[in-house]
Copies of this chain bind each other. A is one copy, B any other.
Amino acid sequence: MKTPKSFIREILKVTQRPEVISFAGGLPNPALIDTVGIGKAAEKVIREDGANVLQYSTTEGYLPLREFIADRYNKRYGLNVTPNEILITNGSQQSLDLLGKIFIDKGDAVLLERPGYLGAIQSFSLYEPEFFAVDLDDDGPDTKQLSQIIDQECPKLFYGIPNSQNPSGISYTTERRKEVAKVLNDADTVFIEDDAYGELKFTNEVLAPVKKYMPDYGVMTGSFSKIVAPGMRMGWVCAPEEVIDKVATAKQAADLHSNYLSQRIIAQYLADNDIDAKIANICAVYKERCDLMVKLMDELFPPTIKHTYPKGGMFVWLTLPKGMSSMKLFELAMEQNLAVLPGNPFYFDGGGDNTSRINFSNASPENIQKGIEILAKIFNEWKA
Contact = CB atoms under 8 A, between A and B. Distances in A.
Contacts of A90: 90, 255, 258-259
Contacts of A101: 126
B253 A93 contact: yes
A50 interface: yes
Interface in A19-77: 27-28, 30-31, 33, 35-36, 38-39, 42-43, 46-47, 50-57
Interface string A105-130: 00000000000000100110110000
A97 B255 contact: yes
Given A50-B33, A255-B93, A57 B231 contact: yes
A106 to B, nearest CB: 9
A91 interface: yes
Contacts of A52: 30, 231
A232 B54 contact: yes
A27 B55 contact: yes
A161 interface: no
A5 interface: yes
A285 interface: no
A261 interface: yes
8 contacts: A30-B54, A52-B231, A89-B255, A93-B253, A93-B256, A126-B253, A233-B256, A233-B257
Interface of A: 5, 27-28, 30-31, 33, 35-36, 38-39, 42-43, 46-47, 50-57, 89-91, 93-94, 97, 101, 119, 122-123, 125-126, 225, 229-233, 249-250, 252-262
Given A33-B54, A94-B254, A232-B259, 13 more contacts: A5-B252, A27-B55, A31-B51, A33-B50, A35-B46, A35-B47, A35-B51, A36-B50, A54-B232, A101-B126, A123-B254, A229-B261, A233-B260
What 8 A-B pairs come out closest when comparing CB atoms? A35-B50, A54-B229, A30-B51, A39-B46, A94-B255, A231-B260, A54-B231, A90-B255
